C-alpha cells in the first residue's frame, strides 16, 4: 500500500475503501508505517471526515487488530455499558450488580482513570484484597457462577486504538467525531458485547461541553453500532456538577454501596437505574424501561443488588464485609470542613474543577505512573439549587497530606457560584439516541 497516495486521497475528500483501511491498520500495528505519515492521514481525516461506512470499517479494523472476548458460552444477549467519563460517576459499581441480580449476565471490562479520580478499577481496588486482573477463563467462570465479573482490559485488546490514540494525543487530532466514536466502540465490540448502552456526558465536567457536541457523538456511536450489527442506545446525561456527592475512590465505593443498600437517593441512583433499565431492555430481558426500572428498584429494596456486589467482591479476592462495614475501606487521617462564606444559593458548579480539587489531595493521577491514595477526596453536602448559610458546611475534605489542602480548597471555592436567588434547575437527562433515530 502506498501511504502517500492514501493521504492525498483523503486530503482531497475521497472515500477510503474497506481494504485500504484494513491494510493501513494492519501495517501500522506492525510498525511498517511511519508515525509522521499516520499523523498526516489523521489530520486529513480531521479536515475531510469519514463517512458512515468508513467509520464502521475503521472500527472493525481496530477490533480485529488484537484479542477479542468470546462470550458464546454465556447464555443470553450480552449487554455492555460505557460512560464517556465524568466526576463522581460511580454508575458501574451500582448498575452492574443490580443488572446481574436480575438474572442478566454482566461481563464488564473496565479501565483506570487519568485525572480527577480513578477509573472503575481504581475504585474497586480501594476494597481490601479486590483483584481486577482475572484470567479470561476465571472471569467467564465467575459470570457462569454468580452472573458477574469486572476485570481490567487485556494488554492486547484493540492495540491499534492504543497506538493511534497516543499519536492523536500529541498531534491535535483527538476531537474528531469519527475517531472518538471508533475508539470507544472498538473496545466495546472487542469486549464481546451484543448490545451496548452508552452514557454520553455533557457539561463543564465532560469531554463534550455542549448538547450539540454530545448528541453528535451519540449519533456517531449509535450509527457505528447499527452498521456493525450491535444493538446500541446512547443516553445524554448531565455533567455540569458531579453526579454523586463523593469524589474520591473509597468515598465513591461507599456511596455506591449506600445506593445499593437503599440508603441514598439522588441523581447517581436515578442515572444508574436509567442505564440499567436500558441494559435490561436492549437485551430483551424486559418489555419496557418502566418494567426494567421497577425490577432494579425491587432489588435495591430487597437487598439482592448489594448481595450481588458482595458475591463479586468475594470471588475476586476482596473483603465482602465492606458491604455492611464501611470502616473496612481506606480511611483518611483527617476530615476538614469547607464552610460557606456567604448566604445564598449555589447557582452553578464547575465539575471539572471539583474533580481537580480532589486530584490535588491525591485521589487522581496526572500520569499513569502516579500512585492514587484511595482514602482521600471530598464529599459534598450541597448541590446546585440548594440554599446555604454563612458558616454552613458545603463539603468535607478527606485528607492524608496537607501540603496541597489550601490549593485544593481554593480550586473548590472557584468552582462554586453563589447568588441570592434560587436558580432554575437543569435536568439530569438531556435526551436519547437509538438506532431508530439514525436514518
**Which sequence positions are flagged as catalytic?**
82, 161, 168, 183, 187
By CB atoms closer than 10 A (0-12, 13-18, 19+), residue 336 is middle
Half-sphere exposure of 419 (CA within 13 A, CB side): 10
**Rounded Cα gap, residues 67 and 1, in angstroms:** 25
Supply 269's cell numbers: 441512583
Q: Contact, 221 vs 181, CB < 8 A?
A: yes
| Residue 241 to residue 384: CA distance in whole angstroms | 8
The CA-atom distances, in angstroms, between 265 and each of 239, 256, 437 are: 18, 11, 32
Write the CA distances from 434 to 65, 147, 278, 413, integer angstroms. Answer: 28, 27, 11, 39
Quote the CA–CA distance of 189 and 196 in Å, as a whole number. Answer: 8
The edge-to-edge listing of strands for the beta sheet with 79-83 is: 79-83, 195-202, 231-238, 429-434
Element (H, E) at 106: strand 106-110
Phi, psi dihedrals of residue 79, rounded to the nearest 5°: -115, 135
Distance in angstroms (rounded) separating the CA atoms of residues 90 and 255: 8
- Is 93 in contact with 306 (CB distance < 8 Å)? no
Burial of 169 (0-12, 13-18, 19+ CB in 10 A): exposed
Task: Give CA–CA dist 329/326, Å, rounded.
Answer: 6
Half-sphere exposure of 374 (CA within 13 A, CB side): 19
Pairwise CA distance, residues 378 & 338, whole Å: 10
d(CA 286, CA 105): 14
231's CB contacts (< 8 A; 6+ apart) are 77, 194, 195, 196, 225, 282, 435
Amino acid at each position: 500500500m502506498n501511504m502517500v497516495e492514501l493521504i492525498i486521497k483523503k486530503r482531497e475528500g475521497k472515500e477510503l475503501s474497506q481494504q485500504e483501511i484494513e491494510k493501513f491498520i494492519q501495517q501500522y500495528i506492525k510498525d511498517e508505517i511511519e508515525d509522521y505519515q499516520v499523523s498526516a492521514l489523521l489530520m486529513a481525516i480531521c479536515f475531510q471526515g469519514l463517512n458512515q461506512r468508513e467509520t464502521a470499517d475503521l472500527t472493525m479494523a481496530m477490533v480485529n487488530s488484537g484479542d477479542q472476548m468470546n462470550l458464546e458460552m454465556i447464555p443470553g444477549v450480552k449487554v455492555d455499558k460505557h460512560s464517556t467519563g465524568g466526576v463522581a460517576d460511580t454508575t458501574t459499581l451500582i448498575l452492574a450488580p443490580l443488572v446481574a441480580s436480575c438474572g442478566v449476565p454482566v461481563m464488564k471490562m473496565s479501565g483506570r482513570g487519568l485525572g480527577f479520580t480513578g477509573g472503575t478499577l481504581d475504585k474497586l481496588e480501594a476494597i481490601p484484597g479486590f483483584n481486577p486482573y482475572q484470567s479470561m477463563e476465571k472471569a467467564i467462570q465467575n459470570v457462569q457462577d454468580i452472573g458477574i465479573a469486572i476485570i481490567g482490559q487485556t494488554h492486547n485488546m484493540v492495540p491499534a486504538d492504543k497506538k493511534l490514540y497516543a499519536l492523536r494525543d500529541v498531534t491535535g487530532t483527538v476531537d474528531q467525531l469519527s475517531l472518538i466514536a471508533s475508539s470507544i466502540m472498538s473496545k466495546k465490540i472487542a469486549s464481546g458485547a451484543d448490545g451496548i448502552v452508552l452514557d454520553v456526558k455533557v457539561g463543564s465536567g465532560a469531554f463534550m461541553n455542549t448538547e450539540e457536541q454530545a448528541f453528535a457523538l451519540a449519533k456517531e456511536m449509535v450509527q457505528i453500532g447499527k452498521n456493525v450489527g450491535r444493538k446500541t442506545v446512547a443516553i445524554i446525561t448531565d455533567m455540569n456538577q458531579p453526579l454523586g456527592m463523593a469524589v474520591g475512590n473509597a468515598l465513591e465505593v461507599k456511596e455506591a454501596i449506600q445506593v445499593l443498600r437503599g440508603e441514598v437517593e439522588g441523581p447517581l441512583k436515578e442515572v444508574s437505574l436509567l442505564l440499567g433499565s436500558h441494559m435490561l431492555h436492549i437485551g430483551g430481558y424486559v418489555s419496557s424501561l418502566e418494567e426494567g426500572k421497577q425490577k432494579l428498584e425491587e432489588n435495591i429494596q430487597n437487598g439482592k443488588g448489594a448481595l450481588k456486589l458482595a458475591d463479586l467482591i468475594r470471588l475476586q479476592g476482596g473483603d465482602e464485609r465492606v458491604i455492611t462495614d464501611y470502616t473496612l475501606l481506606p480511611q483518611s487521617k483527617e476530615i476538614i470542613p469547607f464552610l460557606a462564606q456567604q448566604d445564598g444559593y449555589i447557582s452553578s458548579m464547575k465539575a471539572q474543577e471539583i474533580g481537580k480539587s480532589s486530584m490535588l489531595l491525591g485521589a487522581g493521577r496526572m500520569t499513569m505512573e502516579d500512585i492514587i491514595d484511595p482514602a482521600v477526596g471530598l464529599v459534598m453536602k450541597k448541590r446546585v439549587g440548594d440554599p446555604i448559610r454563612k458558616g454552613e458546611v458545603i463539603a468535607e475534605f478527606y485528607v492524608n497530606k496537607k501540603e496541597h489542602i489550601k490549593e485544593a480548597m481554593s480550586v473548590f471555592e472557584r468552582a462554586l457560584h453563589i447568588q441570592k436567588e434560587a436558580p432554575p434547575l437543569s435536568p439530569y437527562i438531556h435526551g436519547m439516541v437509538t438506532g431508530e433515530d439514525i436514518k
